[in-house]
């Protein structure tokens, strides 16, 4: 751990000097090592511990493959759990594909898990329930393939992903605004659309024609003009949700357009602004005015496009090896590789640190670099996950898996 002195950065923009002063922020330095080096792991998007006490983990790849990794990470023992057909999911492999997996809270007794992925013709996102019939051998029940939700997607981008179960046993799913740019159909604020929202559903029930139930205490249940599944409004492209059970907090990193990247604390019925706002700023491009009675919830933390271009949310660290990060929400930027740890109390950031990751004695995510306005980084974090030992797993979208030491 080291404390950076106040930094004065001089950058040249169109011939003029812009002087920026960054406040004094502690930088935590953490050594990492690459794992699964010999294995093909293109576009890893999630590392999920199997909730069966075996210490095995699943590595979810955006192309549709899910690998089973043994507790000792021995590559010769890696097996395939399942494989979705990329042809059915993907036209543009930048944001389409398999985007999330979550186990049912009662997985040990019912074997259920959920996949969130895109499908084509017509373009849509689906939430599908599958079942493991032999938990030890991880054998799938091929007859169990239940589509709970299908959400039409007008464009290839902004499909969000990574559903989570809350401490209440309900499933929370974030959705993007449909895609393109500028939320062209105003889906995020449209309360009859499931796009641009956080949704909350009961996978153990059925309601009318729906393949799930809508919890009685959902904020807009039975309210005219609203879909009852909606938990929050005004999301752009959440990547990703995370329920921190010890603090009873649902975190939502929301990818911004050209100005601000957001970390939000999700509140029942909240309106998180897009596309009236981007972060704490008015999104003026659309020249629309929100009605006076809407109260927007600002992010608890945001950064501008001088530090990154696309936020990748993570998890709250509760491991033993890095006490300086304990209780901090860990996240980073996909474009520049810059990483942060923030501790949030009563919706306020009470501690903020940068994290430098060191691989073979070299920092892989030091100061952000932009070349012709595009971020350059050897490290493109797409997710921050938890290992079987409760330590950090970093997934680099370029195909690498790193463990902290």
Round to whole Å and give the CA distance between 9 and 394. Answer: 28
CB of 249 to Ca ion, least distance (A): 17
Q: What is the rounded radius of gyration, in angstroms, for the C-alpha atoms of the chain?
A: 21
CB of 47 to Ca ion, least distance (A): 24
Query: DSSP code of 97?
Result: S
Piece of 108-116, 130-138, 176-184, 386-394 that binds Ca ion (CB under 5 A): 176-184
DSSP string, 160-224: ----EE-TTS-EEEE----SSSS-TT--TT-TT-STTEEEEEBTT--BTTBSSB--TT-TTTT-T
Output the CA angle 139-143-146, nearest 5 degrees. Answer: 105
Residue labelled with tokens 């509760």: 318
CB of 344 to Ca ion, least distance (A): 16
When the beta carbons of 28 and 194 are compared against Ca ion, the nearer one is 194
When the beta carbons of 122 and 323 are compared against Ca ion, the nearer one is 122
When the beta carbons of 57 and 159 are compared against Ca ion, the nearer one is 159
CB of 307 to Ca ion, least distance (A): 17
Residue 52 in tokens: 């069966």
When the beta carbons of 158 and 380 are compared against Ca ion, the nearer one is 158
Residue least distant from Ca ion (Cβ): 179
Residues with Cβ within 8 Å of residue 119, at least 6 apart in sequence: 88, 89, 125, 126
Residue 168 in tokens: 């209440």
Query: DSSP code of 296?
Result: B
Site string for Ca ion, 32-71 (x = CB under 5 A): ----------------------------------------
CB of 267 to Ca ion, least distance (A): 12
Please choose, from the candidates 185, 319, 308, the residue with its C-alpha nearest in 3D space to the C-alpha of residue 253: 308
CB of 245 to Ca ion, least distance (A): 24
Indicate which single residue of 44, 100, 105, 179 sits in contact with Ca ion (rule: CB under 5 A).
Answer: 179
Output the CA angle 304-310-166, nearest 5 degrees. Answer: 110
Interface of this chain with Ca ion, residues 145 to 174, rule: CB under 5 A: 153, 155, 158-159
Site string for Ca ion, 254-293 (x = CB under 5 A): ------------------xx--------------------
When the beta carbons of 71 and 290 are compared against Ca ion, the nearer one is 290
When the beta carbons of 213 and 279 are compared against Ca ion, the nearer one is 279
Please choose, from the candidates 13, 71, 97, the residue with its C-alpha nearest in 3D space to the C-alpha of residue 390: 71
How many residues interact with Ca ion (rule CB under 5 A)? 7
- The DSSP bridge pattern shows strands 348-359 and 26-35 to be parallel
Piece of 30-38, 49-57, 178-186, 328-336 that binds Ca ion (CB under 5 A): 178-186
- Is residue 118 within the footprint of Ca ion (CB under 5 A)? no
Residue 67 in tokens: 């690998």
Q: Cα 210 vs. chain centroid, distance in angstroms?
A: 26
When the beta carbons of 187 and 334 are compared against Ca ion, the nearer one is 187
Residue 344: beta bridge partners? 349
Please choose, from the candidates 218, 201, 219, the residue with its C-alpha nearest in 3D space to the C-alpha of residue 210: 201
CB of 135 to Ca ion, least distance (A): 34
Piece of 107-115, 179-187, 244-252, 326-334 that binds Ca ion (CB under 5 A): 179-187
Residue 84 in tokens: 């979705």
CB of 362 to Ca ion, least distance (A): 35
Q: Dihedral of the CA atoms 17, 23, 250, 63 (nearest 10)?
A: 40
CB of 98 to Ca ion, least distance (A): 15
When the beta carbons of 179 and 381 are compared against Ca ion, the nearer one is 179
Residue 152: beta bridge partners? 124
When the beta carbons of 58 and 233 are compared against Ca ion, the nearer one is 233
Round to whole Å and give the CA distance between 90 and 69. Answer: 25
- The DSSP bridge pattern shows strands 339-345 and 329-333 to be antiparallel
When the beta carbons of 25 and 348 are compared against Ca ion, the nearer one is 348
Interface of this chain with Ca ion, residues 292 to 351, rule: CB under 5 A: none
Piece of 30-38, 160-168, 175-183, 377-385 that binds Ca ion (CB under 5 A): 175-183
Interface residues with Ca ion (CB under 5 A)?
A: 153, 155, 158-159, 179, 272-273
């Amino acid at each position: 751990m080291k404390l950076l002195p106040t930094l004065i950065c001089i950058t040249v923009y169109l011939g003029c000097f812009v002087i920026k002063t960054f406040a004094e922020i502690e930088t935590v330095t953490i050594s990492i090592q690459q794992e699964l080096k010999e294995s093909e792991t293109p576009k890893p998007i999630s590392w999920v511990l199997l909730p069966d006490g075996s210490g095995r983990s699943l590595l979810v790849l955006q192309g549709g493959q899910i690998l089973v990794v043994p507790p000792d990470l021995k590559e010769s023992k890696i097996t395939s759990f399942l494989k979705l057909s990329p042809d059915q999911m993907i036209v543009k492999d930048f944001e389409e594909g398999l985007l999330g997996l979550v186990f049912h809270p009662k997985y040990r007794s019912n074997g259920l898990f959920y996949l969130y992925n895109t499908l084509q013709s017509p373009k849509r996102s689906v939430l599908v329930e599958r079942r493991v019939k032999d938990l030890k051998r991880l054998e799938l029940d091929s007859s169990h393939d239940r589509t709970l939700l299908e959400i039409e997607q007008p464009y290839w981008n902004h499909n969000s992903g990574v559903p989570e179960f809350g401490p209440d046993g309900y499933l929370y799913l974030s959705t993007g605004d449909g895609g393109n740019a500028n939320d062209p159909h105003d889906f995020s604020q449209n309360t009859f659309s499931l796009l641009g929202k956080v949704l909350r559903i009961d996978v153990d029930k059925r309601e009318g024609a729906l393949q799930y139930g809508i919890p009685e205490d959902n904020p807009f249940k039975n309210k005219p003009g609203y879909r009852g599944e909606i938990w929050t409004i005004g999301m752009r492209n959440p990547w990703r949700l995370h329920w921190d059970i010890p603090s009873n907090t649902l975190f939502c990193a929301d990818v911004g357009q050209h100005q601000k990247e957001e970390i939000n604390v999700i509140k029942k019925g909240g309106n998180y602004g897009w596309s009236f706002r981007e972060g704490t700023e008015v999104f003026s491009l659309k020249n629309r005015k929100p009605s006076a009675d809407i109260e927007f919830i600002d992010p608890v933390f945001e950064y501008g496009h001088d530090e990154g271009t696309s936020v990748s949310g993570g998890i709250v660290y509760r491991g033993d090896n890095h006490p300086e990060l304990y209780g901090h929400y860990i996240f980073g930027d996909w474009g520049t590789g810059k990483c942060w740890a923030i501790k949030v109390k009563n919706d306020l950031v009470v501690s903020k640190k940068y994290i430098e990751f060191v691989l073979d004695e070299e920092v892989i995510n030091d100061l952000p670099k932009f070349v012709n306005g595009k971020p350059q980084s050897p490290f493109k974090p797409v997710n921050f996950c938890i290992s079987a030992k409760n330590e950090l797993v970093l997934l680099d979208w370029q195909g690498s898996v790193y463990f902290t030491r």
